Amino acid sequence: MRKQSPARPTVAVIGGGYAGSNVAKQLDEAAEVVLVEPKDAFVHNVAALRALADPSWLPRIYFPYDGLLERGRVIRDRASKVDAGRVTLAYGQEIPADYIVLATGSAYPFPAKSDLDSTAAAHDKTLAAHAALAAAGRVLLLGAGPVGVELAGEITATWPNKDVTLIDPAGDILGARFRPELKAEIRRQLSEIGVHVLLGSQLAAGPPGEPGELGTFTVRTDSGVELTADIWFRCYGVRPVSDYLAGSLAGARQPDGRVEVAPSLQVIGQGRVFALGDVATADHPMAGAAGRQAAIVAANIRAFITGQGELAEYEAPPPGIVVPLGPHGGAGQRGGQDALLPAEVVAELKGRDMMVDRFIELLGVPVSGAPVGTDGTPG
Ligand SMILES: Cc1cc2nc3c(=O)[nH]c(=O)nc-3n(C[C@H](O)[C@H](O)[C@H](O)COP(=O)(O)OP(=O)(O)OC[C@H]3O[C@@H](n4cnc5c(N)ncnc54)[C@H](O)[C@@H]3O)c2cc1C
């Protein structure tokens, strides 16, 4: 059915986040892997909110790509145009590829994700926002999804006396996917740590200035409630990154920016182009899902290369999440499990070490330079 490719074909992996780094590593032995990534380091953004509250975490969330691949190479550039079989980089270089893996993820407003390609510049931006946050008495967080809730927990764990308000137009926190019991438990804990939660409310007009900058302001909700704060952050707005798709691939781009894939994670209508992680339609945007999909993509490309085996398929698991509120609080739910995950389990899985260890291992960071932590399971 499938034709065997020549020995060691080229696999171009576009994007070196959770999805792309995993695929690249898993295919390093079997193919000529070329990983295209504009950032000078892998960013473990799952811990980005912790690093805002406690910048001593910064060295633990940016890992250079030097130790990721033994045979393959990492090209520090951005794909500006990707069509089936060919990748064009922003600096003009063209990479012909037998297989292409789209793993360009999603953008999210700072501080949840970084829009800077240089680690030094990203550290400086976080340090500046940390200093502004430290000096602010009142904090307004727009959006009470997992990011807003987690950020409220990080801020109050570091500065218990700050006045933190979460506001969201939805009727409840965390979005639609998760269980009412989980939302109720997180709301209870937020109230216990003094976070104000304003649901079913939105601002009549956005706050002035940029997020993460110090400056007192007053805004009004559409129902007339006045809120005064010294700093604000935008905690909503995940945006899949797929603007580079061209030619026959452009048709797979959905109106929301995600790339439509089959259960085999092949881009719809394509044989040798795959997409996974936040940029693909296979599942919700979670690093855990990206990791599981990476194993499927790597197995399927290996099956093509060897001409052996059937294509594996990705099946999205039932909704699961761990929501830390600082290093020790929070709750979670696991698919197929009735009982909520209590704070101690959430701390063990994520809150305490923010899952740093597994990425130290993936990126091949020398152990002597590695921080100590325990392993966890992404939500
Ligand atoms: C604050 C926060 C906490 C989170 N916590 C959890 C959690 O606990 N558990 C969990 O499972 N998920 C969590 N998530 C979700 C998780 O971060 C995402 O699902 C994950 O980042 C998706 O990985 P990805 O590799 O698909 O994309 P990304 O991590 O976004 O990586 C994409 C990469 O592609 C690169 N890129 C973009 N455009 C181009 C281009 N044109 N050419 C080349 N490269 C390009 C980018 O620079 C980036 O390095 C969290 C998210 C946030 C924001």
3-class secondary structure for the chain?
CCCCCCCCCEEEEECCCHHHHHHHHHHCCCCEEEEECCCCEEECHHHHHHHHHCHHHHHHCEEEHHHCCCCCEEECCCEEEEECCEEEECCCCEEECCEEEECCCEECCCCCCCCCCCHHHHHHHHHHHHHHHHHCCEEEEECCCHHHHHHHHHHHHHCCCCEEEEEECCCCCCCCCCCHHHHHHHHHHHHHCCCEEEECCCECCCCCCCCCCCCCEEEEECCCCEEEECEEEECCCCEECCCCECHHHHHHECCCCCECECCCCEECCCCCEEECHHHECCCCCCHHHHHHHHHHHHHHHHHHHHCCCCCCCCCCCCCCEEEEECCCEEEEECCCCCCCECHHHHHHHHHCCCCHHHHHHHCCCCHHHCCCCCCCCCC
Instruction: Answer whether 320 contacts ligand 1 (Cβ < 6 A).
Output: no
Q: Could you give phi then psi for residue 182, rounded to 5 degrees? A: -65, -45
**Closest ligand 1 atom to the C-alpha of 151?**
1
Give distance in angstroms: CA of 307 to centre of ligand 1: 32
**Closest ligand 1 atom to the C-alpha of 324?**
8
Partner residues linked to 220 by β-bridges: 226
Q: Look up tokens 């599981």; give the residue.
A: 292
**Closest ligand 1 atom to the C-alpha of 104?**
34
Instruction: Answer whether 155 contacts ligand 1 (Cβ < 6 A).
Output: no
pLDDT at residue number 37 = 98
**Closest ligand 1 atom to the C-alpha of 48?**
1
Residue type, 242: S
pLDDT tens by residue, 175-210: 999 999 999 999 999 999 999 999 999 999 999 999
Number of neighbours of residue 86 by Cβ within 10 angstroms: 15
Ligand 1 atom 45, closest CA? 15
Among 113, 177, 286, 375, which is best to mutate for testing ligand 1, by the most ligand atoms less than 8 A from CB? Answer: 286
Below-50 pLDDT ranges, the chain? 1, 5, 368-379
Instruction: Answer whether 293 contacts ligand 1 (Cβ < 6 A).
Output: no
pLDDT at residue number 377 = 32
Partner residues linked to 203 by β-bridges: 221
Give distance in angstroms: CA of 196 to centre of ligand 1: 29
Give distance in angstroms: CA of 287 to centre of ligand 1: 7
Ligand 1 atom 27, closest CA? 105
Give distance in angstroms: CA of 242 to centre of ligand 1: 13
Instruction: Answer whether 82 contacts ligand 1 (Cβ < 6 A).
Output: no
**Closest ligand 1 atom to the C-alpha of 355?**
8
Among 21, 75, 104, which is best to mutate for testing ligand 1, by the most ligand atoms less than 8 A from CB? Answer: 104
Instruction: Answer whether 153 contacts ligand 1 (Cβ < 6 A).
Output: no
Give distance in angstroms: CA of 155 to centre of ligand 1: 22
Distance, in Å, from the CA atom of 270 to the CA atom of 341, rounded to the nearest integer, reads 40
pLDDT tens by residue, 38-97: 999 999 999 999 999 999 999 999 999 999 999 999 999 999 999 999 999 999 999 999
pLDDT at residue number 303 = 97
Contact 184, 196 (CB under 8 A): no
**Closest ligand 1 atom to the C-alpha of 78?**
42
Instruction: Answer whether 13 contacts ligand 1 (Cβ < 6 A).
Output: no
Name the token pair of 26.
Answer: 């898993």
Distance, in Å, from the CA atom of 281 to the CA atom of 276, rounded to the nearest integer, reads 8
pLDDT at residue number 39 = 98
Q: Could you give phi then psi for residue 147, rounded to 5 degrees? A: -70, -45
Provide the edge-to-edge strand list for the sheet that holds 86-89.
Answer: 79-83, 86-89, 94-96
pLDDT at residue number 8 = 87
Instruction: Answer whether 106 contacts ligand 1 (Cβ < 6 A).
Output: yes
